Amino acid sequence: MQAQDLLRPRPEGLYCPPGDFYIDPVRPVDRALITHGHADHARSGHAHVLATRETLDIMAIRYGKDFAGQRQTARLGETLDINGVKVTYHPAGHVLGSAQISVEHNGLKIVASGDYKRRLDPTCLPFEPVACDIFITEATFALPVFVHPPVEEEVERLLHSLDQFPERTHIIGAYALGKAQRVIAHIRAAGYTAPIYLHGALQKLCDYYQQEGVDLGDLRAATMENAKDKLPGQIVVAPPSALADRWSRRFADPLDCFASGWMRIRQRAKQRGVELPLIVSDHADWNELCDTIHATGAREVWVTHGREEALVRWCELQGIAARPLHLVGYEDEAE
């Protein structure tokens, strides 16, 4: 079987002709298989959606309970038959409920990774390498300059700043799904037990993580009432957009932080006015991308949504066939 007969790019997204389904389509389709709950991968309006229970819950939180016509739960490791195509979901380690999707038909196996990371994350299951013929990898940080430091070191820098500037409120910009909860969990793991204050946009997803057994400690709303003393020496977590909003000015001499893999690039931090950049990513860095490709044993690699050319070239130098997919509509929301 030819690879393009099993999965091929279309304007709607990756399409499986024999199974008649799409993976993470960017437009409404009849049948969508979703890897995780970030808005560039999980969109509303599909007639049928197959995803992990957590991803379905997250989509309902973000889009409302009627986000799809019908929904079906995919259990990790369980193989489903969709029009003769074997489909299996495997942990991706990206955010709560995230999964890779294995598609197998007529002796050919393709694994679509969605987004993934290889670092320890107390808020979700770790990535599971899956042996396959063709591996579809993301390439968000697919340049050798991107080597993420240990998260513990970044959290230590944050806590040191709190000690150094006890009169200032430290506001951490972190995306609502995955990044905010992970940053909070790592701060707790470092021994910080004081209340952490949340922007209202993060509340529902943090509540859901807690409901799912992820201990985030004492979380409080960063409301006007709670912030009446301006919260000096406290941590506030907010969406990145809030850092530049009047909302953030209510706090005591706010010190802007931003948790993102892009904080490796100093110019990006400077452009955003970030005083304390925290290099914390929910995507694999360059070394992890390369290691993952080897771990799958894939004879061919398809590269998508990111720095495609560099990773394609690396694969070629390793003797692995590779090509970019040039899919459109996928952004770095999680960063």
Residue 259, SS3?
strand
pLDDT at 213 (0 to 100): 97
DSSP labels, 234-273: -EEEE-GGGGGSGGGGGSSS-EEEEE-GGGGSHHHHHHHT
Cα 113–118–119 angle (5° rounding)? 145
Q: CA-CA distance, 330 to 306, in Å (whole number)?
A: 9
Q: CA-CA distance, 219 to 205, in Å (whole number)?
A: 12
> Closest Cα partner for 64 from 36, 48, 45, 50?
45
Q: What is the pLDDT of residues 3-28, one digit of tens each?
A: 999 999 999 999 999 999 999 999 99
Cα 139–82–114 angle (5° rounding)? 10
- Whole-Å CA distances, 118 to 95, 99, 107, 283: 12, 13, 28, 8
Structure tokens at 331: 């952004």
Contacts of residue 158, Cβ cutoff 8 Å, sequence gap at least 6: 170, 172, 187, 235, 257, 276, 278
Query: Are the CB atoms for 158 and 120 separated by under 8 Å?
Result: no
DSSP labels, 161-188: HHHH-TTS-EEEE--TTTHHHHHHHHHH
Residue 220, SS3?
strand
> Closest Cα partner for 26 from 38, 313, 18, 87?
38
> Closest Cα partner for 6 from 302, 309, 293, 308?
302
Residue 149, SS3?
coil
> Closest Cα partner for 181 from 55, 242, 96, 114?
96
Residues (pLDDT < 70) of the chain are 328-334
Q: CA-CA distance, 98 to 113, in Å (whole number)?
A: 10
Query: Are the CB atoms for 71 and 49 separated by under 8 Å?
Result: yes
pLDDT at 41 (0 to 100): 95
Mean pLDDT (the chain, rounded): 95
